[in-house]
Amino acid sequence: MARSRSPRLDAPLGRGTVRSRPTSRDRFGRFTEWVARAMGTPAFLLMLTLFCVAWICWNTLLPESLRFDDAALGFTALTLMLSLQASYAAPLILLAQNRQDDRDRVQIEQDRQRAERNLADTEYLAREIVALRMALEEKNNQVVTRDVLRQELKAMLAELGDADEAPGDTRTGGRSSS
């Protein structure tokens, strides 16, 4: 029996399941996010600063035969390298930001739908509570409040207290305690 190449929809993805590879667009998008995250770190700024300091020191302190970027011309090669880095960094950061905006938009939509469901559930529960109160009022013509319940309990406790003090108490076998 030959195995089907299409994934089964009634089973979760496992080790034996063939997963589709992420598209090159998604892979590039993840790369842009990685670049944007890396460029925003203190480590990147420190490495870029050390690179520029090393470049300038190499081209000013070493013998003229080992220099490759003349300080008299304003370190033209270094300026071009930094411009190239900046020209690639800006679009990569914008692409990563666009992906984040898309994710935020999806999250906002999901939050809106969840809020609508919560509102509908709350309204349903409020209607049910009102229906229960109306049913109680119809049945008893009175809603049992805390005060009414307290009065009833006090009356029952008083009755129990009176029964305990009555002569010929059955709990003590008719004997009086002296």
Please, what's the largest Cα pairwise distance for the chain?
124
What is this structure's pTM? 0.47
Whole-angstrom Cα distance, residue 20 to residue 26?
12
Helix 76-140 and helix 24-39: axis angle, to 10°?
100
CB 78, CB 58: distance < 8 Å: no
- The verdict on residue 160 lying in a domain is no
51: how many CB neighbours lie within 10 A of its CB?
A: 14
Is residue 35 a part of any domain in this protein? yes
Residue type, 28: F
Assess if residue 30 is contained within a domain. yes
Q: Residue 43 corresponds to which tokens in the numbers above?
A: 């480590």
Whether residue 31 lies inside any domain: the answer is yes
Query: Looking at the domain assignment, is residue 165 inside a domain?
Result: no
Predicted pLDDT of residue 137: 77
Predicted confidence (pLDDT) per residue in 158-167, tens digit: 998 888 776 6
pLDDT of residue 178: 46
Q: pLDDT tens digits, residue range 52-72?
A: 999 999 999 999 899 999 888
Q: Find the domain containing 121 and state its range.
A: 24-130
**Closest C-alpha to 33, from 85, 82, 103:** 103
135 is a domain residue: no
- Looking at the domain assignment, is residue 158 inside a domain? no
Q: How many domains does the chain have?
A: 1
In a domain, 36, yes or no: yes
Contact (CB, 8 A) for 23 and 29:
no
Rg (CA), the chain: 40
**Dihedral-angle region of residue 110 (phi above 0 means left; psi in -120 to 50 means alpha; beta otherwise):** alpha
Buried b (16+ CB within 10 A) or exposed e, 156-178: eeeeeeeeeeeeeeeeeeeeeee
- By CB atoms closer than 10 A (0-12, 13-18, 19+), residue 27 is exposed
Per-residue pLDDT of the chain (178 residues), as tens digits, is 455 555 666 655 655 555 556 677 788 888 888 888 888 889 999 999 999 999 999 999 999 899 999 888 889 999 999 999 999 888 888 888 999 999 999 999 999 999 999 999 999 999 999 998 888 777 766 556 788 889 989 999 999 888 877 666 555 555 555 4
